[in-house]
Amino acid sequence: MHLVDTVEVEPERVEDYLEVIGTPGMAVMGDAGASFVSCATTCDAIGEAVCIEVRWSFDDHVQWDEIRKNLVLDPRYHQYGATVASLRVRGTRRFFTLTTPSQP
């Protein structure tokens, strides 16, 4: 299962956002039990907000409930959450289950 956060960030704040994901974000999420999968951005050269997708993995919703409990109990998570929230314009969080497409 993947947790996918997709956020929009003003071009001048992209590096700050990525730094927060890479430093406290990786530590907090990893210590809680999530595994980092990937981080991707759209182009910042067109003058629009940049989309950043950050993907974490874990086994299932049962494990996510444990991860979420660990996050809530970790004071670092609250600072991390406040910091990324201050840097983004908007965003979504979705849970994806890996599947295999049907073959004709």
Per-residue pLDDT of the chain (104 residues; tens, 9 = 90+): 999 999 999 999 999 999 999 999 999 999 999 999 999 999 988 888 999 999 999 999 999 999 999 999 999 999 999 999 999 999 999 999 988 888 87
No. of H helices and E strands in the chain? Answer: 4, 4
The CA distance from 81 to 89, in Å, is 14
The CA distance from 18 to 41, in Å, is 10
What residue spans of the chain are helical by DSSP H?
14-20, 26-32, 61-73, 75-87
**101 inside domain:** no
Q: Cβ of 52: how many Cβ atoms within 10 Å?
A: 22
Structural domain boundaries, residue 10 = 2-96
pTM of the model: 0.89
Name the residue with tokens 């940049």.
50
**15 inside domain:** yes
**86 inside domain:** yes
**102 inside domain:** no
